Structure 1
């Protein structure tokens, strides 16, 4: 018995259209009464101005607000909390099929549905909230037919446009039974109207409301005053086995619903048009006379408004055209007046342009030469500093009487001087040559300060040391600062680590020491208030500035303290050279290895 019960439950969940279509929020009225709350599902499809998504995606329209007002009615009268889950069905036909096929009691559909006897057998309708009048519209190229017979006589030459599975299609097929003509289906009412307006022999049936809205949108079609069809009205639909009928009928037949509908039509269509539509022109001649006059008046107002807007646009375009023509004439006159002067001055202007070009080129060449001279002047100011320091070192060893160290230092000094002389007249050297110069310098200093510090100089394997060229003696300043300001002022054994590496866009030289750091070194310098052991700091800064003026971003220098456990443990200097400007051919001067 239990196995049979489980099988039945599984079949209900898998085969029921409610769960097969993903709906589980379609409570019955009995469930809402019992729980005091509930949820119903409402399918919709876009039909402006009755239900549609606004610019921000929010639902709005006459039918949307009417259904939401039903929720408020249930809350006010019965104190039940009702919620609507709105689902876009994707098409008019899909809404009808979903509601018709579902067995769930709380499934509704809204998309400007007409009440017909055939549909009453398949779905339930809410009481109509507004009249349902389909009017015959044609393109403006066709005449205004005074009798149905005149229209029937031309019917075979016309093309009908409609939406599939609608009352408009039913009305066209009734005409097709009289005279054979072609019927084309479109996806919505406004596209039907656009097709009719764009075809010389196009026609079709359209709800009166859609026709009036189309006039406001500027779709130009002609309303024929014949063959109007009328049905009980427009309404929402819900499933046949639903128990929502009594409360739905109660609200939609109430005065509150009528008042709400009037306000919504006035809101979305305008008060006058809303009243005309609610009154309706009727189907008999007597009922049509006064309503037709009023509707014709409104049509003329709408058409006149569109004509005024079009006329204003044409007038604006005409004014702009006249202004353009007047401006063109002024330009032509000015051109003619200036033409003679232009002919006489053209040669002089060409000569001035040529001379200006020569002067500009010469100015750029002079500026380049000036920058190169500045670089050489600064470099020449630095070279004596090396020589004086080295001579002082040799004098120191000779005074100490240590001949072996003095000879070793002299040998280092001679090789170092040879490099200095070779670099005197060049603006760039290869990385290999700069590394060799740094090794010679650190070797000399290591001899002088034996046991005080050690150093290592590493070049990454991917660095093309013979292809990348950098300014000579630029790195020396930072190495010397590390030695004299960082390590010489420290009480521990000093270490200097120099590394060359490459990225995709830069050559990076890092100089790291384990000295006392920049802040402590500055305090010592301020206390001494004497001559700095490295007086060329400003010269090096000026060289970098000049090179970056010539080629912006070619060299960048950053300095930072190295911290260990929150304490200063030395200084790190990073000098970055842009490879775009550092890789170049060697100058004409040949530098021999030492």
Structure 2
């Protein structure tokens, strides 16, 4: 877990440094601001209450946030310069420091209540301190209040330390445990440190006094050890070493106006009394230190007392809510019993009504089923004359031609065709064998009429199961007729119609391929003649297919594609019809319509 946190920190740091050049574009120097009478600076921040954080609506606020804006207002009032601030979330305390340390741009500021130390002064510039910097040692609330340092030192080996990396707090805790084997977990957030300490009975660590006071207000149960406080020069913002903002920054942050703003902000975010205690610091003389300690103790007791009062009020509020809830449950139970009795009566009546409605719905479904069957038969009866009329036209053609032999042959085949047609007329579905026989009869009739104009091939896949059934009659015929009349007969030379059946469980797939002129040329020819390029009854056929698909979802699917040669010339049309069928090798598919 420690290694993962290290990798995560390095990854975050690299991302933040990569964004540094973008931030630099909005980091004007003081010289640029003076020349242009306006400019933009970038302020890096990291979420820590009460210095800088987001409110419930996601807007930034806090002591350092408002202090930075007070600085730009002061620039406007004193010099008449408009300086905008571009706030960038650096994700961590370390990222802010590293970005400012490596920045080449002058107008880059970092805010995260930085302690002023000699080591840091060698790497970055600081604003003059805007408030005292005191770290206090806090322990779990269960640990005693130690009266001397030796007593606490004797228990260190049994405690667990918590601190934040690369901070003055880490330096303080390292100095405290120097020479002793004490486990220390180095977290990334002040309040996370305080939560860890409050959860671990042996937890301890250093935090800024301001953060400690806010943690008490937040209800985090920790205890301050009075003997181990550390104090530094102060808390401040940072900016790059090569920045030219130092003179004007010093001018503002050393002014009375800045001190007045800071006092007002501390009072706003911590309370007036707490703000005064923190701003006054611990003092230099023993009397001043005792006085400051007493004031801080009094404030701690006040906060803890207020927290106890709030807890008691919350408990009383919870008790009142519990009593109200019990009363509400009793009322609900009584109402439920009354409602249930009414419900039982209504349920009996409702059951009778449901039974009658169910019977009515069943009768309606039966009527609707009968209507669909009648409608389907009507459509099929409308399609049947189409075959007969075409065949009679063909017979009339041969008689007018005076070809007796062809007429007799045609009459013989036509009679067989009519017998097959009549046998299918009353059947809602047929077998594949019947479909093949009917297709052969039709194509042989057309071959007699259009002698020498086309050949046909009717094939089935070797693995096609025997006894396939469930095919709606007079469906495939339409597409074969289209292939002949619109494809073959509108092209020059001898044509070929190839019909191929294969089985893709649970579907029969029929592919009808012709080498005719293609749909585009056919449409152009019919447009030129002022005719429709669809065969009669095609609309009726589509209506049949739609009805069949309404009864059984996805029962029939049709796909048409134009064929072209490798050099891009038209090579005919392929129609693929997929039909849901029944096979002896599987449970029969119910195809009722």
In structure 2, the partner of 1:128 is 129
Q: Pick from 78, 81, 85: which aligns with 1:79?
A: 81
In structure 2, the partner of 1:211 is 212
The equivalences for 1:514-593 within 5 A come to 540=541, 543-555=544-556, 577=578, 581-582=580-581, 584-585=583-584
Per-residue deviation, residues 322-347 of structure 1 (Å, max 9, x unmatched): 867987899899999x99xxxxx9xx
Per-residue deviation, residues 362-411 of structure 1 (Å, max 9, x unmatched): 99999989977875676567556645664565466446643122023124
| Structure 1 position 537, deviation (Å) | 6.7
Structure 1 unmatched ranges of 5 or more: 1-20, 340-344, 526-532, 561-571, 590-594
In structure 1, the partner of 2:90 is 88
| Structure 1 position 189, deviation (Å) | 0.9
Cα gap change, 1:423/1:88 in structure 2, threshold over 3 Å: closer, same or farther?
Answer: same
In structure 1, the partner of 2:302 is 297
| Structure 1 position 89, deviation (Å) | 7.1
Give me the whole-angstrom Cα distance separating, in 2, the residues matched to 1:134 and 1:57. 29
Give me the whole-angstrom Cα distance separating, in 1, the residues matched to 2:58 and 2:70. 20
Cα gap change, 1:239/1:380 in structure 2, threshold over 3 Å: closer, same or farther?
Answer: closer
| Structure 1 position 151, deviation (Å) | 9.5
In structure 2, the partner of 1:140 is 141
In structure 2, the partner of 1:233 is 234
The equivalences for 1:93-242 within 5 A come to 95-96=96-97, 102=102, 104=104, 106=106, 108-116=109-117, 119-120=120-121, 123-142=124-143, 145=145, 148-149=147-148, 152=151, 156=155, 158-172=159-173, 176=177, 183-223=184-224, 228-239=229-240, 242=243
Give me the whole-angstrom Cα distance separating, in 2, the residues matched to 1:45 and 1:295. 27
Q: Secondary structure at the match of 2:51?
A: coil
Give me the whole-angstrom Cα distance separating, in 2, the residues matched to 1:509 and 1:56. 65
| Structure 1 position 112, deviation (Å) | 1.4
Give me the whole-angstrom Cα distance separating, in 2, the residues matched to 1:275 and 1:400. 119
| Structure 1 position 192, deviation (Å) | 0.9
| Structure 1 position 233, deviation (Å) | 2.6
| Structure 1 position 517, deviation (Å) | 9.2
Cα gap change, 1:409/1:547 in structure 2, threshold over 3 Å: closer, same or farther?
Answer: same
Is the 2:381–2:425 contact (alpha carbons within 8 Å) kept by the matching residues of 1? yes
The equivalences for 1:270-281 within 5 A come to 272=272, 275=275, 279=279
Structure 2 unmatched ranges of 5 or more: 1-16, 284-288, 562-572, 589-593
In structure 2, the partner of 1:285 is 290
Is the 1:426–1:587 contact (alpha carbons within 8 Å) kept by the matching residues of 2? no
Per-residue deviation, residues 24-72 of structure 1 (Å, max 9, x unmatched): 6498957547864777665544434434578999866443453355455
Per-residue deviation, residues 93-121 of structure 1 (Å, max 9, x unmatched): x6546656x59583643321123466556
Cα gap change, 1:461/1:575 in structure 2, threshold over 3 Å: closer, same or farther?
Answer: closer
In structure 1, the partner of 2:9 is none
| Structure 1 position 459, deviation (Å) | 8.3
Q: Secondary structure at the match of 1:148?
A: coil
| Structure 1 position 127, deviation (Å) | 1.5
In structure 1, the partner of 2:567 is none
TM-score relative to the length of structure 2: 0.64
Q: Secondary structure at the match of 2:148?
A: helix
Give the alignment's Cα RMSD to 1 decimal: 6.3
